[in-house]
Amino acid sequence: MELILQRELPHQQKAVDIISAVLEGVNITAPRQVYENPTISLSDPGLMSNIGELQKSIPVEYRSNMSIGNCLNLDIKMETGTGKTYVYTNTIYELHKRYGLNKFIIAVPSLAIKAGTAQFLKDEYAKRHFSDVCGYGTEIEVGVLEAPKSRKKGRSYFPSVVSDFVKGSCRNTKKIYVLLVNMQLLTVRVNGMLSRDDYDYGVEGFYRPFDAISATNPVIIIDEPHRFSREQKAFKVIADELKPQSIIRFGATFPETSIGRGKNKGTVKDYQNLIYDLNACESFNQNLIKGVAKEHFEPVSKREEKVKITSIASREAVNFQYKKRDKATKTFTLKKGDPLSIVNEAFAGITIQAISTSTVEFSNGIQKSTGEELDVGIYMSSYQEQMIRLALERHFETEKLNFCGRNFKIKTLALFFIDDISSYRPNEKYKAPYLLQTFERLLKERIESEICTLGEHEAEYKEYLKASLINISACHAGYFAQDNSDSDEDIAKEVDAILHSKKQLLSFKKTDGGYNTLRFLFSKWTLKEGWDNPNVFTIAKLRSSGSENSKLQEVGRGLRLPVDENGNRISNEQFQLNYIVDFTEADFAERLIDQINGELPQSSSISEERLDEVAKKLSLTPDELFGKLYDKHYIDRRMNIKPDKRDAFFAEYPDFATGLSSGKVEDRNVARSKPVKIRKAVYNEIRELWETINQRYLIFYDDDLDSDMTEVVLSLLEKPSVFTDVVMTSSRDIVKNDGSQMTIVSGTGVQGIISKPIPYNEFLKRIMCGTNISIEVLHEALCEYVKRNGDINSEHINENSVSMIIQQFQEWKHKNLQGRFRYAKSRTPIGSTALSYEDGSPREEIAQGRIGTKIIPGTPSDKYLYDAFAFDSPLEQKNMMSNIEEVIVYGKIPRSSIAIPTITGGTYSPDFMYVVRRSTGEKELNILVETKDVEDKTNLRGTEEANMECARVFFDMLSKDGYTVCFRDQLNNKQIAQIIKEVLVE
């Protein structure tokens, strides 16, 4: 399979646009040396002016008053799973396109993150995406800095990766040079690789790598900034040795710094010109990541057995106390290397690894201090077995839905974190890994029982499960830190599958055509930052230590939205991560919510910008809104929110409220969020409209389009920007002496043509993938082009031409396909729908995520289709709470339930449906509404506008077929009552 990257996702594109806007209008001078970046004028007042303007969109508490000094610091906050790597890669391309910057350094904190970043930057699908789909027509040349091998006698070679990075010419407009480095290599302790100056040769006159890199005037991107605090040595090296002109930090978490003194001393996030804040709360609320459903078992035994560390006698021995129902029964003294099973058999396989003056470290990685306790219950094999059963239960209910319950299939993965490697991997001391044996036994039982429940329409899934049953061991694999030094071939294959073969792990089929059943992964918290897989739907923390780690970091490995079997990111519905812990973390969901909401500034006042923004949404002036809030005693004259009125204020004006929406983090042990009920009486009123708009229609293009396509392609090929030379010009400065002083005179430069031709068949394939135009038509058009214009220079059969042709065709589609297509009803029966069964009877309920990611208390009007207020945007909330006299019934259309084919290649589904009574009272009218939270149509992207135009054609076709449906779009400055009245008048 090929992972398909999506262009211009709003939350990602906004970050790229904001970073680029910082330099808008700022003086940037051309490089003096061919190996330099252009120089940003850091004293230009436009920089701080731009930053100040951009910071109006983030909370006042996060705005900084930092001066720029000798380095432009910018911070981009993006929650785990929202695509930081994609965004900073896109930023690199955009800064090169707009401002000519082409020397970038990416600094990461670990080898795992470095491996993942390098894989993304070098992968062909990413290169094609940015070159062809995004239209940059530029290539990133990645140099990955590695630790030096042991130094040998003889010649001392300057690091080649650094040499290639430095020598890259700024005049090569088709190349961007990126140096990827992990923090350990930045410190001088690592053999002094970058700080030495005794190499046998240098680069561009520099013999010290740090000096050579610094001379390029680089822009540095820091990934995971919480690992690079300003006091940390790697950051100091970046600032003092590399001396970048700009540092852009991308992360979900940022380091903290101390402020104040004495009693007033506290800590705050160390933001340095934060200009984009996509925090965890927004990411959950905007449905950009999966929701989380936590679950745990109460202890199997109610004996309440614990083992307490009473004292550490020396670095050689530690004293334990065995307690039952909080009463001490026995004491033990153990030494380094002793098994903990001496205290209780539940701890089989765990030994004492190290003893310090105040802490004990066990072989499972857990570290405990004097006075701390270990719960025996969570280490009992019976408890662990129940956790595995629960994890498999959640996995298979999700996997079945992802395989059989959609129009596409999603490979479903589960991740198990364990703390005792020997329980999974055989070794000399423990020949029979009990966890592995238990897991394989339970997996086999679960698959056998699942197969028995499947019907004829689930035959393919049954075959997949049967393939799993044939080879249970092929269904799971593990990765642990010690694997990096293990020479076992089978273990190496497992590690490669988990770390480096993401696309294969997401595929249902292997290269030989057989089923790829690997989907259960085991690790000892090794798979943390730097590793991710979008299709992890279940995480189980077996034998959890109840650590105080960031709860967001723990669930982060499973938050990304999934991709289907063809590599498409699925973002049009709510997915959920099953998170299974032991009873010591029963409050996990509550603590996760506290952490998410705790990251938000707890505003006690309303800013002018926020007042303006909300007033605009409510179609009021700021003064009118202020008057309303003041008259209701919600605020005082200085716009401070009155503490005793906060709850009422946020309930009535949710646009001002911040915090995690309900249903995003769920505790299955407390009260599962209930599905939304479908009101049968209301459905019967709207049934005719619903069944009509669910009729299957096919899109047909005008017959002459096929015959015209060769001419269309030919017209695109003949545009002047498609087949052109890429010219580079050198600048030549001559130093002269006029008798009194030295002067520089500009001389005549040299022009050179560069290109990177690709094979003709690859050229055609790449255009076909981006346009869906057949290779035959493309070839025919190119042949005709040659007849009319002469041979094409072979150097022009390159990536730049591919990119230009794809861009031209996309523009042509939006401009020329409107009005040249029609819809025709398919003979396919309606079948079951999101609201009804196959026989047409209404369903009892629908998942909340299908109709809205947010929910508020209250009972909707009797006219409303559902029994709860579930919505996605404030505009939708207003619509469902509006009581309009002419409306008979209305309802939110479930997400992606109406699949109208469009000219953009996808499908389209409106948001609301209404049945209204005409003013005469005799006839009813059907209205469908598409809500858009933008001020006017100029803010709609081309694809959105094209989709809505297709919807208008579609509903006109329904009217011609005998069923009148009026389709309207609603922007956020228009009330739904106004739209309905306008339609009734028409």
Tell me the CA distances in angstroms from 55 to 52, 63, 531, 568, 910, one per residue in order.
Answer: 5, 6, 31, 33, 34
342 within 8 A of 334, measured Cβ to Cβ:
yes
Separation between Cα atoms, residue 230 and residue 257, nearest integer Å: 9
H or E element: which one contains 706?
A: helix 703-717
Biggest CA pair distance of the chain: 100
C-alpha 495: how far from its chain's center?
Answer: 24
Q: What is the pLDDT of residue 941?
A: 57
Ranges in the chain, pLDDT < 50: 190, 430, 545-547, 729-731, 737-742, 744, 746-747, 935-940
Q: Is 488 helix (H, G, I), strand (E, B) or coil?
A: coil
Measure the CA–CA gap between 307 and 297, rounded to whole angstroms.
21
User: Nearest CA to 536 among 840, 701, 362, 290?
Assistant: 290
Q: What is the pLDDT of residue 549?
A: 55
Identify the bridge partners of residue 52 per DSSP, sorted by sequence position: none
CA–CA gap between residue 232 and residue 236 (Å, rounded): 7
Nearest-angstrom CA–CA distance, 557 and 248: 24
Are 282 and 655 a contacting pair, CB within 8 Å?
no
Domains defined for the chain, CATH in brackets: 10-147+156-278 (3.40.50.300), 301-379 (no CATH), 381-598 (3.40.50), 608-657 (no CATH), 676-698+825-985 (no CATH), 707-791 (no CATH)
d(C-alpha 861, C-alpha 919), whole Å: 21
- Rounded Cα distance between 241 and 218, Å, is 12
Output the pLDDT for position 483. 60
Q: CA distances (Å), 978 to each of 281, 877, 884, 928, 952, in order?
A: 33, 16, 10, 14, 19
The structure's pTM equals: 0.65
**pLDDT in the model for residue 18:** 95
pLDDT digits (tens, 9 = 90+) for 503-556: 888 899 988 889 999 999 988 765 555 567 889 999 998 865 444 556 777 777
pLDDT of residue 674: 67
Cα–Cα distance for residue pair 292/541, rounded to 1 Å: 14
* 112 in Cβ contact with 129 (< 8 Å): no
* Integer Cα distance of 967 and 929 in angstroms: 6
Q: For residue 114, what are the CA distances in angstroms to 125, 209, 353, 550?
A: 19, 20, 30, 22
Edge to edge, the sheet with strand 965-971 lists 887-892, 912-917, 924-932, 965-971
Measured in degrees and rounded to the nearest 5, phi and psi for residue 309 equal -85, 110
Tokens of 439: 């897991």
**pLDDT per residue over 50-95, tens digit each?**
999 998 878 777 776 667 889 999 999 998 888 899 999 999 999 9
- Sequence-ordered list of residues with C-beta below 8 angstroms from that of 833, at least 6 positions apart, any chain: 690, 694, 897
Residue 347 CA to residue 335 CA, distance in Å, equals 16
